[in-house]
Amino acid sequence: MMNKRLNKYSLLFFLFLVSFFRVQAQKANWQNLDLGADSVFGISTEKAYDELLKDKKPHTVLVAVIDGGVDTAHEDLEAVIWNNPKRNKINDTHGWNFIGSAKGNVLTDNAELTRLVREQTTKFAGLDSLTVPPQDKPAFQLWLKERRELKEKIAEAKRNFYGMQGFKNILDTIILRTGRDHPGLDDLLAYQPRNEMEKTVKNVVTAELKQYPDLAAFEKTQLEEGLKHERELLDYSLNVGFDPRPIVGDNYADSRQRNYGNNDVTGPDAHHGTHVAGIIAAVRDNNRGIKGVANAVRIISVRAVPNGDERDKDVANAIRYATDRGAKVINMSFGKDYSYDKQAVDEAVKYAARHDVLLVHAAGNENRNLDSLQNYPNRHYEDGETAQNWIEVGASGWKNDTTLKASFSNYGKTAVDVFAPGVQINSTIPGSKYAKFDGTSMAAPVVAGLAALIREYYPELSALEVKGIILRSAVKVDHMVKVSTGKDSRMVPFTELCNSGGIVNAYRALLLAANYKLNKQR
């Protein structure tokens, strides 16, 4: 029997999911290639090495990857992992883990919204607008708003989960009825649907099956991963009854506490962080895997990002830790809609600024205009000032046409600084393997790698000068691009998507850096 919970909203979500994870073909290492020579909108890294850097010797630059962990034994990263020359009693050989302890490591955590609702529920449960103390009414109203939003998110996750489950059930029935062990595209095309829902499922899957060897591979890659994601939302991210913080064992209320964590910088799931690290610094001349942007980096792994929203205390401590260990560039491929302790993060960003550290942050993957929406962490301090040592990065694709803006990428003429390649980027994953990921999480390390590359060859330049070089040397995009909202789309100038109006470029940045050096010497 057809699952009645498979409604139009669930199907639309599934179509979005398919689009988001679609595997597309393009030249390997495309993010480092050149638009003119290679016909893909990379950042001209290889051109820079061939024409500008081949006779120059770089200085080593430390880059911190604040993420979910890095596989320090990966064949393409092992040689570029930082080894702490001043190990102390905590034995932080390759970095530090702020979401673990002797008890183990946090893998999954709540959304920040869930944590905020849980904390305030202990205070306001049983009260209403008549019984709440007058001084608490603003906080009470905020709690009611956040609680409603959490309920809506839970309802949406349930719709998506049951919708995808219904889609999978129908697909399983189609697979069974083909009578084949491993039905492929031809089998699906030959199948005669028995009702409208089977017809819909057939049409959706037919359009995507060209990318997969058979229906089973499609189902595992698309549906099972989607179901896993929605299940994790319901069980962990949006579940007020789930709180893994006791594993860490810190005094969570004390944002100034520093001495907690462990030295396991890989953790239980290092896929994301390992991918980010490879984009920045995978060994370029070992005839293995991929080529990172920078060729003389040492990666400091700072684990502070679980599956779920990172916590402000951990982010603040991760920034301070990386700064104290000598990082000159910090990559932050994470973000969330709410902040619990923004002041702690602000103080850490200011601390990094005082030590000449450049922070590179991913803009996010919700296809939203950040000029009118909050996204944390961000460069705007609560005291009204703005962090100048900060670059906000959107994601671009490889085609220099209307699809140049990655469909998922957040944007904003004032909130986002620049775009960088972030679609189907091939990089390192745990176990000395490689995979292609999409996301502004991939675009940010392209920029972090470029910042490190500049600081390798021009160490006398400050963080603010490096930022200025990266933005001023971006390749301006002078054509319209597509921005979609649901079923609707509009064409906008690329200059409306970020304040630089362009895509970062290593070749142009290094030329500009050389001029900066000459001017400073005069």
What are the 10-residue block averages of pLDDT along the chain, 522 residues in total? 39 45 59 96 98 96 98 98 87 97 97 97 92 95 97 97 95 92 90 95 87 82 89 97 98 95 98 98 96 98 97 98 98 97 98 98 97 95 97 97 96 98 97 96 98 98 98 97 88 97 98 82 60
Residues 211 and 286 reside in one and the same domain: no
Looking at 222, 237, 252, which one is the last position of a domain? 237
Number of domains the chain is built from? 2
Q: Output the pTM of the full model.
A: 0.91
357 and 454, same structural domain? yes
For residue 288, being part of any structural domain is answered with yes
pLDDT of residue 504: 98
Q: How far is CA 170 from CA 21, 175, 202, 208, 245, in A?
A: 21, 9, 9, 16, 40
Confidence (pLDDT) at 168: 93
**For 126, phi and psi rounded to 5 degrees?**
90, -10
In a domain, 121, yes or no: yes
Q: Are residues 203 and 337 in the same domain?
A: no
Give the per-residue pLDDT at 20.
42
Residues 177 and 249 in one domain: no
285 and 423 share one domain: yes
Q: Residue 42 has what pLDDT?
A: 98
Q: What is the pLDDT at residue 210?
A: 75
Q: Within this chain, do residues 278 and 349 fall inside the same structural domain, yes or no?
A: yes
Same domain, 120 and 76: no
Render pLDDT for 275-295 as a digit per residue (tens, 0 to 9). 999 999 999 999 999 999 999
Q: Are residues 157 and 286 in the same domain?
A: no
Amino acid 5: pLDDT? 36
341 in a domain, yes or no?
Answer: yes
* Cα dihedral across residues 154, 395, 225, 23: positive or negative: positive
Q: Where are the beta strands (DSSP E) in 221-377?
A: 297-303, 329-332, 358-362
pLDDT of residue 213: 80
At 516 the pLDDT is 78
In-domain check, residue 260: yes
Based on the fold, state whether residues 320 and 393 are members of the same structural domain: yes
Q: Are 445 and 276 in contact (CB under 8 A)?
A: yes
Same domain, 303 and 232: no
Q: Which of 190, 207, 237 is the last residue of a domain?
A: 237
Residue 5 lies in a domain: no
pLDDT at position 4 is 36
Among the candidates 200, 219, 237, a domain finishes at 237
Q: How far apart are CA 318 and CA 326, in angstroms?
A: 13
Question: Domain span at residue 454?
Answer: 33-109+244-521
Domain shared by 361 and 305, yes or no:
yes
Q: Report the CATH number that the domain containing residue 500 is assigned in CATH.
A: 3.40.50.200
Give the pLDDT confidence score for residue 192 in this predicted structure. Answer: 95
